[in-house]
Chains A and B, each alone.
Chain A
Amino acid sequence: MPAQMSPPEALNTLSAGLILLSAFAMVATRQVQGVLRYFVIQSLLLAASCFLLGFAFHSVHLYVLGAITIVAKVFAIPWVLKRTLARELYVRREIQQVFNIPASLLWAMFLAIVAVLLVSPIMALTPDVIIRINFPIGLAGVLIGGFSLVVRREAIPQLIGILAMENGAFFAGIAIAAELPLIAELMVAFNVILIVVIVGLVARNIEETIGTTEAGALQELKEEPVPWR
């Protein structure tokens, strides 16, 4: 890495570190609300990165992207989740997991290392500081999000896992393709909100008929909707 960085680049690097940390925190948290809180923090950091890179590249696109991120992920998604699945969000305390917390953290670490390893040949090709930081961290975010999607056995944390994957891809994307047409980004933002609405409503239906959104409890086939517990 070059020894000198401009202030926005340096701050973007800092925010990359914090994004990786919040991805770990999402894996390490047991409470549904805690996972959601870390997701909001991660999205805020993502928006901060957008603004910083927008400042560095003199790109209005990235400013708008940052604004969209804040509106969609910091306000809209938690709001929708709280409207559709308030009971699951507030009443349920601990999430059921396939692995315990230290084991999942070890897996998350392994995935972060894989991400850095996978990207390292590409990193050798580019001297660009921002790509060198954002690409591996974004990929690590995608992998860790996908991992928590797999090991968590609850609808909402799984949904947040998908969203965290999207966050990671987004973080890598703003460095690689800063000049992506705005319409594409807008579509992605709306898509994400739509996913949340659909998954939220489906999960709510499941909860109404079965009484839980624990995906782990849905393995057995039952002919009639019975209260699960």
Chain B
Amino acid sequence: MKHTIAYNLMQVAFVLAFAPLYSGVLSRLKEMVQSKRGPSIFQPYRDLWKLFHKDQVISSETTWIFRVTPYLVFITPLFVTILIPVLTDYPLVFAFMGDMLAGGFFLALGGFFAALAAVDTGNPYGPMGASRTRMVGFLAEPVFMIVFFTVSFVAQSTIPYIVQQKWIASPAAFFSPSHVLLLIAFLMLILAEGGRIPVDNPSGHFELAMIDESKGLEFSGRDAALMKWGGQMKFLVLGCIFLNVLLAPWGLANTQAIAQVAEAVPLILIKLFLFVLVLLAIETSLAKLRLFRISEFLGAAFIASVTAMIVSIFFVS
């Protein structure tokens, strides 16, 4: 019991510590592909450090929503972290507090408040970005739901730890056509939710074209740092769900021994690095979609997930 609480906190610490590195590695590699040198992979840490030591300016026009939002955006990925397998493949103490749907709702809660806060400031770019994020959000929501339903149908459970065990136990389910379709749908979902390239350009600085970034324009100092860190953690958490629950449920600690859990850390980092390479290939080979093509992109994800659901129902029965 003590162990599992400690390991649960270790998972949270893992996500807190490595989320900036994950983004840093991705942006560094991206710059290298474009034949630039790029910032150091530790740059996100320095940015956070700098922002935490800056003064904060809050508009007097804003309400409590604006003040609460950074904390919510920061805390919700951590809540999801205690529900999903990050380091261990056996359920930890909080694993049964909520299922994957709860995880999705937590992430959506952070996004919802971020959009509210963007509208709250009255900055003309904020509401624009917020409404665009909502557009992407409501197109992504059904995909997430269907993926969730299919996975829980196949695994007969909604707890991520048990779903992950299912893929290990049954190679037939792992290699089934519905699993392939699910993976594609979820990957597209990660790209849309994380504001990555075919949907949004994370390194763009042009306010009119921003989707995800413009929500954070008004935050300064500690709030900006929390928003940034929260966004990075959300992206890492989505990557962890994709890798540890759906794509490659191997390399996690399967005993209570502390050595095993410690050993899992580098293995997960290697997996995440390989995933970063995949993201890199997507980001450098695709162009950002026009706004109204995004519905096509997520429509394709939706079709893939629904087909996965139907096919899995018929293949399982």
Contacts and interface: CB of A to CB of B under 8 A. Distances in A.
A113 B314 CA distance: 9
Given A20-B307, A21-B184, A116-B311, A105 B179 contact: no
Residue from the set B177, B181, B296, B304 with the largest chain A CB neighbour count within 10 Å: B177
A130 B283 CA distance: 36
A163 interface: no
B303 A17 contact: no
Nearest to A119: B314
Contacts of A14: 175, 180
Contacts of B169: 3
Given A16-B177, A17-B177, A3 B310 contact: no
A166 B172 CA distance: 27
B235 to A, nearest CB: 25
Interface residues of B, number: 27
A24 B188 CA distance: 15
A24 to B, nearest CB: 7
A123 B317 CA distance: 10
Contacts of B131: none
Given A3-B169, A21-B304, A101 B299 contact: yes
A72 interface: no
B180 A116 contact: no
A112 B175 contact: no
Contact of A17 (B171, B172, B180): B180
Chain B interface, >50% SS class: helix
A85 interface: no
Nearest to B180: A17
B172 A1 contact: yes
Nearest to A7: B171
Given A5-B172, A132-B315, A109 B303 contact: yes
A54 interface: no
Nearest to B174: A10
Interface in B212-240: none
B300 A24 contact: yes
Nearest to A104: B303
A189 B181 CA distance: 29
B306 interface: yes
Nearest to A116: B314
A129 B316 CA distance: 12
Interface in A1-35: 1-5, 10-11, 13-14, 16-18, 20-21, 24, 28
A105 B172 CA distance: 27
Contacts of A101: 296, 299-300
A120 B179 contact: no
B298 to A, nearest CB: 9
A172 B179 CA distance: 20
Contact of A1 (B300, B303, B315): B315
B285 interface: no
Given A1-B316, A112-B307, A116-B311, A17 B179 contact: yes
Given A21-B304, A24-B304, 7 more contacts: A4-B172, A10-B171, A20-B180, A24-B303, A102-B303, A109-B303, A112-B311
Interface of A: 1-5, 10-11, 13-14, 16-18, 20-21, 24, 28, 101-102, 105-106, 108-109, 112-113, 116-117, 120, 123, 129, 132-133, 136-137
11 contacts: A3-B169, A3-B172, A10-B172, A20-B181, A21-B181, A24-B304, A116-B311, A120-B314, A129-B172, A133-B177, A133-B315
Interface of B: 169-181, 184, 295-296, 299-300, 303-304, 306-307, 310-311, 314-316
Q: Can you list the 8 inter-chain pairs with the closest CB atoms, starting with the nearest? A: A17-B180, A17-B177, A102-B299, A10-B175, A13-B175, A105-B303, A14-B175, A116-B314
